[in-house]
A and B are shown apart, each in its own frame.
Chain A
Amino acid sequence: MTAIELAGVSRWFGNVVAVNDVTMTIGPGVTGLLGPNGAGKTTLLSMMSGFLPPSSGTVTLDGAPVWRHPEAYRRIGLVPEAEAMYDGMTAWDFVYANAQLHLLPDPGAATKRALESVDMMGPRDRVVGTFSKGMKQRVKMATALVHQPDVLLLDEPFNGMDPRQRLHLLDLLQELGAAGTVVLFSSHILEEVEDVAGTIEVVVAGRQAASGDFRSIRRLMTERPHQYTISSSDNRSLAAAIISDGSADAVTITPSSLEVQASDFGRFVHALPRLALASKISLDEVTPADESLESVFSYLVSR
């Protein structure tokens, strides 16, 4: 099983510690790398792709260090954030050149396959300088895919792409993940990460704040009561029932709904159907209010 492992990795630039003692393993499937601006995500990706050595700790791909190991580069594809490209080359030529640099046996076929997967075969003979931001991003992705890497690292890859392109490429990432590729992508668009990433890694100011499935992470935040929004046929009576049952910490009544805070998530969700039936109140909607990746992320960042 392919995996990138970081063990006690730190990276500093003079007195600026961009990455501070991070240990993580990125395995097959899609992982989201999240964090506020300046948290160190780009530095992490640079170290994983062999562009930067760690100041301490080790970054390894299947046990072998990435830094200064060209064999590792064959297996890694990177889609960096930077926009700079050779504006004078055509899309085809650019990707083809990359294929040649990887010493692929059939660069033409590889280029075609890569451009097809990002839906850029149409404009392949146009010069990159004429492309929109979204199209340039797709060419970058093609160059990262041309050698069919085992590991794909992407830094804000969908910047500038319209919704159709985004959906298409998110699907692509999902397919690659399902096929066993190690896909790590950093993004600020949490609703997209929520859709495709099985696990997330959250970094805040260079430190690793959390890792895993975000819903499980939410469960681990026991110091934060879970928030629920409920609407029913009789909110006040239901509120009374919930309070006397003792399964919630606090209940707030708003004009249209009931807001419940419950530290013991398990106990509350089990009690709710029972309480509703017992009080002969019919439930219209039960919605966890802070289970989204957005909520989990904001909690992690503000710790």
Chain B
Amino acid sequence: MSSETAPGATTNGSVIHDIGFRHYEGARLGRGWAFRSLLVETIRGSFGIGRPAKVKAMPMVLLGFMTATAIIADAVTILTKADSPSMPYTQFAMNMWLLIAMFVAGRAPYAVSRDLRDGVLPLYLSRPLKRGDYVWAKLAGVSIATFLFIAVPLTLLLVGSLLAKLDAAHEIWTWSGSVLMAAVLAVLLSTLSLAVASFTKRRGFGVAAIMTLVVMAAAFAAIVVNVVNFKVSQAAGAYFSAFDPFALVDALGSSWLGVEPVVAERHPVGFLGGFVLTSVLVALVVLGITVLMRRFKKVGGV
């Protein structure tokens, strides 16, 4: 660093300031902060915050539909002076499954395929972050974003119910159960979607692949469950709902929290069923995380 005169030297009040390179003597906040920053950036990116309008469009439109649905349901509840919410919390996620799937299908590739295509990983790896941290941050980021996507409209539903003067304690209780299951659904969908997205650098492929898988899973599960229900028993049929993430979470919700499953054909599962399905849930999430970790170990070398 050099300057023509000593920095700050004055001659009759005139000064030349040194605007050369400044060294940083401040705190270096380390891995935790780095992780947090990446996490926050992923969540912001999922909603297009701080990004050009083109990126905001899809998630915001989808979010708009979600909230609009919630508001309309609230309006119905309030105006008809119903004594129970016009759209129960448990039904909300199941009814909106397509929108939720579209959200995750869009956000997961945006979080991961872009980085793969741009080749940014070496820049992250050369910073105080471990490779695993990157994966966890993306996972947590998309999961939290998806969770918010479902939970915010759910909360709007609660607000509506409270405004309609329904029994507050009951409403809050059922609402919190749904929020919990929303979290579980968010984590499950995000993990699997990110795992799929990590195989392609092209966002479009990722989105298409995830949507196809989700829709196919739903269809497949529906068919199989029906067949098994018919041929074997409804109890057995309930197990096969595991093929569809939405149905799986629905069944688990009924198993853990004792509420009615939303879809009529899905008979509530007993203790054994609950145990098996919970294991399936855990296995799927672990599988997704493992695949993600493996993929990022392989690619993005420095």
Do A and B touch each other in the complex, judged by CB within 8 A?
Answer: no
